[in-house]
Amino acid sequence: MALHLSNACLCAFSHRKVQRIRAVASEDFAIKTEEDKVKLGGSDLKVTKLGIGAWSWGDTSYWNNFEWDDRKMKAAKAAFDSSVDCGITFFDTAEVYGSRFSLGAINSETLLGRFIKERKERNPEVEISVATKFAALPWRLGRQSVLTALKDSLCRLGLSSVDLYQLHWPGVWGNEGRKKLSLLENDFSGYIDGLGDAVEQGLVKAVGVSNYNEKRLRKAYEQLGKRGVPLASNQVNYSLIYRLPEENGVKTTCDELGISLIAYSPIAQGALTGKYTPEKPPTGPRRQIYTPEFLTRLQPLINRIKEIGQTYGKTPTQVVLNWLIAQENVVPIPGAKNKEQATEFAGALGWRLSDEEIVELRSLASETKPVTGFPVEKL
């Protein structure tokens, strides 16, 4: 089966005209100083305390009601610009987001690269932190596959390097039997070596992993450490109603080793925003997760989130994002599909819930049955 991940990069990588992008906010933005940013792990990379996820951009397999058109393209562009206007300049994408492999309409990396280029033409001084991810597909073997995929991503993004490159999930294919398990472990080691090679070749500023359990996280940290390369981050599903990273040792390990935890689905794919009700659940595949029955059980928590938000003049979305940031060593990356969402996310910064409210929300959330996460988290 052919894999269409490179999006037909027709130019030789070494000859493509590219730009180096980092994150800096102008004086007019909400986030104004280096103190408003956080370092990712032991790396030198600093990013805004909240980023933007670009999973939905160009996607037609999970988001956007299986459709992508010019209106949604313009909305995504407005989300990008509004985020930058608010000083949120950390964007997370992946080679599989919107790709043909995942039955998407247009690759999210391609869109992000286009948005950055257009923004730079209007405002050359602004710089953006870009994070993207390597897909550990079963036919990808060894460290060179990481470098090859990274160069394809850079071609789509129109950049000479990215700030953060992550392994999207661990190599978990073909693990039946001792011989296959041995090959699997070799691939795991090769992928990590590929990250180290990317740093040494100047293709990335920092490296991370995603969906790694405690054991795999420690192994990756140790292997990179032997080369003097810090493991900057582990991107996992983490929200007020999905706290597996707290339960399986991942959050504790990140804190212990100095690895930043990047939280995807931090508003539970919209379930924590108060937008959805038992009478009006989300559409598409999300409806299979956030069912009317689940949303009924969630209502007491949503009601309390709204009450707390009113005391601060904040929306439920801003409250739950602030709750995550208050856990410390956590960078949430909610997905923004339009200008209004991006502007709302920025309102999660610059204030803090009280310790009592943080404890209360955790207690109320514990009464809600957890939703299903990404299976590889438990492997």
Catalytic positions are 97
Dist. CA 59–CA 96, nearest whole Å = 9
Structure tokens at 67: 């459709």
DSSP-derived secondary structure for 193-250? HHHHHHHHTTSEEEEEEES--HHHHHHHHHHHHTTT--EEEEEEE-BTTB-HHHHSSH
Phi-psi region at 123: left, alpha or beta (left = phi > 0; alpha = psi -120 to 50): beta
CA distance readout (Å), 247 to 8, 243, 272: 42, 7, 20
Helix 142-157 and helix 108-122, axial crossing angle in degrees, nearest 10? 40
Strand partners, 242: 239
Q: List the beta bridge partners of residue 206.
A: 164
CA-CA distance, 4 to 100, in Å (whole number)? Answer: 6
83 CB contacts (<8 Å, ≥6 apart)? 52, 89, 91, 336, 342, 345, 346
Q: In what order do the strands lie in the sheet with 129-134?
A: 52-53, 90-92, 129-134, 162-167, 204-210, 231-237, 260-264, 330-332
Distance between alpha carbon 293 and the CA centroid of its chain, in Å? 28
Q: Strands 37-39 and 46-48: what pairing?
A: antiparallel
| Contact in structure between 332 and 272 (CB atoms under 8 Å) | no
- List Cβ neighbours of 326 (8 Å cut-off, separation of 6 or more): 352, 353, 358
